[in-house]
Every structure is written in structure tokens, then in C-alpha cells.
Structure 1
Amino acid sequence: MASGEVQDDLQYHGARHRWDLIDIQEVWRFRELIWMFALRDLKVRYRQTYVGIAWAVIQPLAMLLVFSFFFQISGGSPSDSGLPYAIVALCGLIPWQLFASTVTSGTQSIVMNKQLVTKVYFPKIILPISSVAISLVDFSIAFCMLLIVMAWYQVVPTAAIFLLPFMIVSVVVCSLAVSLWLSALNAIYRDVQYLVPFMLQVGLLASPTVYEASMVSPQWRWLYSLNPMVGPLEGFRWALLGTSPPAMAPMAISLGCMFAILIGGMIYFRRMERFFSDRI
């Protein structure tokens, strides 16, 4: 879609009163806005910073140092794969950073664009979707750093790497699913934005980021698998490093929860969309 067509489509309309699922065709028609919003927010994020986009590498490395020190002094072993802990941890921290970054910016996406939301017509779901696009830029840079670390330790991916794109998509879908809920809730209840950092801190420890899921006691594994990020994170680590394949039942539970959250988020976002203009 040309930029002129996008401007023609940005017409002033009243709030929509549809209660159905997201109109995928409409989102596709306005797809150029996703990249416009993403590019704008990316420039704002790193404006007047000294290291700029290098923060995408600094953050996971800093967390790696913290958890490495913690496990060293505690005497615990967060991995049973025999691989260097740096690689095991980064394979969890980097996709988690993609998730956390998307959720953080996605939660604020409606409120931070209130001038557009209240005056201009376009599919509002484009705003949380654009948050995914921004986070993917940081993820790509951090992933390149991970490949360099793997080369340093002489760790070669196995044939399972062909499933890595599916695992990355799973992380993106989970990120978007949670963002749909939180962005809509935050537009109505501002308290949500203050809960998100706490939720992400808890989620970091409740997900196989700095440890492998195999370290969780079998009696709690089914409950642990209700976390929708367990499947994508373990799948990402397995696809890239060739660790033990995730158990089918926990993986199915985790992915099932993820799609349930996604469908519920699409419905809830659509229902709340008509209230955005009045509440923000």
C-alpha cells in the first residue's frame, strides 16, 4: 500500500461497535502503518542514548552475569545438558527479552497514541502489533550475539534448528496474545501499567529462562506447563542447541494456553476497542 493510500484511509470516524474477532483483511490493508509506527518508536527509544541499539546486547549479558554469580554461590546446577551455562541461559534470556519488550511497549501502545486513537480511524490492533516489530529488531541483534557466543564455545546446532523459526513465531504469538489483553486493560484501568513490571519479574523466574525445564520437579510439571512461555522457550533452546526434546504433553499444554490467551485477547480487545476514545 502506498503512503498516499494510507493517508486516504486515515479518515475520521466514530468508534466501531463490532464485537467480533479482529478483521485480518482490514489489518492487512493498513499494514504499512505497522512499519511506520515501529520505525517512529524505534527512533524515539534510542534517541539521545550513548550506546543506542547496543542495549539489545547489554541487557541479556548483564542478566547472564547476575544469574551466573547467583548459581555459583548457591552451588546449584540450573542445567543438566552439559552445555556451557552462558549458552543455556542466553537461549532463554534472549527470547524472553523479546517477550518482555513486546509486552512492556504493547501495554502502553494505546495510551501513548491517544491523539491518534481518539481522532483518526485505523485498526487499533496495529498499535500492539507494531510493538512486536520493534522488539524483533532488538531480538535480531541479540540473536547474532548468541551465535557469536556459540561459535566461541564451538557449539554447533543440530538438525532441529529447522524448527527454530516456528519457536520464534511461538514467542511472537505469545507476546502479542498477552499484549492484546494488557493494552486493552491499560486503556481502561491505568493501574495495569504498574503491574506489568512485577508480572514480568515473576514470569522470568517462573519460565525456563536461566534454567532448563527439566530441573522442575515432575509432580509440578503439569502446573508449570500452564505458563504459555514454557513451551516456546524450551522449544527455542532445543531447536538451537539440540538439548533434550520438550515432553509432548507439557508442550501441548503450554501452546494450548498460548492460543487460548490469543483468542481471548482478540475478542476482549475487539470488545473494548469501542471504549478507547472515551477512556483514554
Structure 2
Amino acid sequence: MQKVRILMKLIKNLLSSRKLIWSLSKNDFKTKYAGSYLGIIWAFVQPVITILVYWFVFQVGFRSSQPAQYPYVLVLVCGIIPWFFFADALNGGSNALLEYNYLVKKIVFNIDILPVIKVLSAMFVHVFFVVFTLILAACYGYYPTIYTLQIIYYSFCTFAFVLGLVYLTSAVTVFFRDITQIISIILQVGIWMTPIMWDIAIIPARLQWIFRINPIYYIVNGYREAILVGRGFWHNGLWTLYFWAVTIIMFALGSGVFRRLKIHFADVL
């Protein structure tokens, strides 16, 4: 019950600070690329180049890995867009307390909102790529349907899961700076272990559960079903319950660790 009260108090605290969070998130997004000639354009250039490289390698070099039912470029983009959001939010959020250390040292500032600011900042780029994906899908004849609205749901899924994770990693990073390098390695491996560039159907059915228990797979698959397949998340009832169970546990764990350690943040930083 104590953990539930802590979690509810955190959520209430975040909601009461929503205007400040929104303002700081927009400022964080703008200042991230301040000083460069192209500015925020760089936020979109790297993901686009990454998509083009993966598309060329798997479309030209490994034709056998293409799912036959849908154009490979759409399968790739629908899967990699939520991954970009997850990776960007995790990288940025894990360093939130280090980057905003001058705010952490202010006694009157509510540092609980700092991880949220970084995750919400990553959301701005994600919205652009969602629109890009929908336009690309329409060019191939896959027009938006009522199921496409599920992108909002799956975006919220990503937001909730990565926020819980970021509360944990940002708190630990203050005391163990090497965690950022560990996260980079995990993300490099994770993009290949998650069925993004390849179809999970190539894995024997008895082993597919190993990849499905990855919460990000639920999101990646959800984007594809929302845009290409036209299938509701309620059809994946058990996996939906599993995802939210993991997310709630992660959020409770992350917020609990953050709350316990935050009294030491200012001293360490």
C-alpha cells in the first residue's frame, strides 16, 4: 500500500506541474540543437539516414528476410519509429539529473519532473515521424482507418514504460555514471533482438515467446497492427495485460528508487 501511495503522489505531483513540464520540454527540445547551423533539423536527419541504411541493406542485400504480405519499407518504418522514441527518451532521460544539475541543487525546485521533461522532449520528434509514417503508408495504399488511432495508445504505452525506466536509470546514473555506457550497449543489442528489421515468423513458434516478453515488442507490433494490419489491441488481451503489469512494476520500482535516492542528489552532484 505504501508503494501505491508513493506512486499516486508522484502522478498527482506531475499533473499539478504539467504547465511547467510542457514549457521546459519545449525549451529542452529547442536548446538541444542550439548553436548548429541546421538547428532542430538534425533531430530528423539521423533517424531518416538510419532508416535508409537499414532499408537498403535488407531490401537489396537480404531480400529473403522481407515479409511477403506487406512492403518491407513499411514494416521497417512502423517498427523502428517507436524504437527511436524509446531509445531517445531513455538516453536523454537517464542523463536528466546530470544535465539539469543546477536545478537539482535548488531546494525549491521539484526535481521529480526532470525525467518527464526529457521523455516529453523526445515525443516531439516522434510525432513528426508518426505523421511521416502515415504519409508513407498512404503512398503504398494503406490509408488511415479507425484502428490507426491506436497509435495514440501505443505512444502512451511507450511513454509510460520508458518513463518508469528513466526514473530508475536517472537516479542510478547520479551515483554510477557508467550506466549511460551500459544503456548504449543494451540499445545497440536491443534493436536487433527486437523484431524490427526482421519478421518474428522466422523464429520457431516454440521460441517466439522469448522475443514477445520484451515489452518493446508489444509496442512495435502494435504500431504495425494499427497502421498496416488493422487489428485492435484488445485482440492481444493477454499480452496487453502482461505489458501493463510490467510497466506498472517498472514505474513503481523506478519511482521508488528515485524517491529514496533524491535526498542525496544535490550532495553528489
Structure 2 length as normaliser, TM-score?
0.87
Structure 1 residues 85 and 160, CA gap change in structure 2 (3 angstroms): same
Counterpart-to-counterpart distance in 1, 2:44 and 2:197: 16
Aligned to 1:20: 6
**Contact 2:33-2:42 at 8 Å conserved across structures:** no
**Contact 2:89-2:162 at 8 Å conserved across structures:** yes
Consecutive unaligned residues of structure 2, counting only runs of 5 or more, are: none
Task: Please state if 1:79 is matched with 2:76.
Answer: no
**Aligned mate of 1:268, from 235, 257, 265:** 257
**Which stretch shifts more, 48-57 or 242-251?**
242-251
Shift of 1:145: 1.6
Aligned residue pair count? 261
Q: How does 1:138-153 map to 2 (within 5 A)?
A: 138-153=125-140
Counterpart-to-counterpart distance in 2, 1:208 and 1:248: 20
2:30 aligns to what SS in structure 1? helix
2:210 aligns to what SS in structure 1? helix
Consecutive unaligned residues of structure 1, counting only runs of 5 or more, are: 1-18
Q: Deviations over 1:127-161 (max 9, x none)?
A: 01011221111111112221221222222234322
1:125 aligns to what SS in structure 2? helix
Give the AA of the match of 1:77.
Answer: S
**Contact 1:88-1:237 at 8 Å conserved across structures:** yes
Q: Deviations over 1:173-198 (max 9, x none)?
A: 12212211110110111111222211
Shift of 1:209: 2.4
| Identity across the alignment (%) | 26
Counterpart-to-counterpart distance in 2, 1:147 and 1:125: 34
**Aligned mate of 1:258, from 247, 256, 259:** 247
Counterpart-to-counterpart distance in 2, 1:28 and 1:50: 36
Structure 1 residues 26 and 249, CA gap change in structure 2 (3 angstroms): closer
Shift of 1:243: 6.0
Q: Deviations over 1:57-108 (max 9, x none)?
A: 333322222222332323432424x221111111111111111111111011
**Contact 2:134-2:227 at 8 Å conserved across structures:** no
Aligned to 1:201: 188
Q: Deviations over 1:9-33 (max 9, x none)?
A: xxxxxxxxxx933433332332232
Structure 1 length as normaliser, TM-score?
0.84
Aligned to 1:188: 175
Counterpart-to-counterpart distance in 2, 1:220 and 1:177: 28
Counterpart-to-counterpart distance in 2, 1:39 and 1:272: 27
Aligned to 2:220: 233
**Which stretch shifts more, 138-147 or 211-220?**
211-220
Give the AA of the match of 1:87.
Answer: L
**Contact 1:108-1:183 at 8 Å conserved across structures:** yes
**Contact 1:231-1:250 at 8 Å conserved across structures:** yes
Aligned to 1:278: 267
Q: How does 1:33-112 map to 2 (within 5 A)?
A: 33-71=20-58, 72-80=60-68, 82-112=69-99
**Contact 2:145-2:230 at 8 Å conserved across structures:** no
Structural RMSD (CA): 2.3
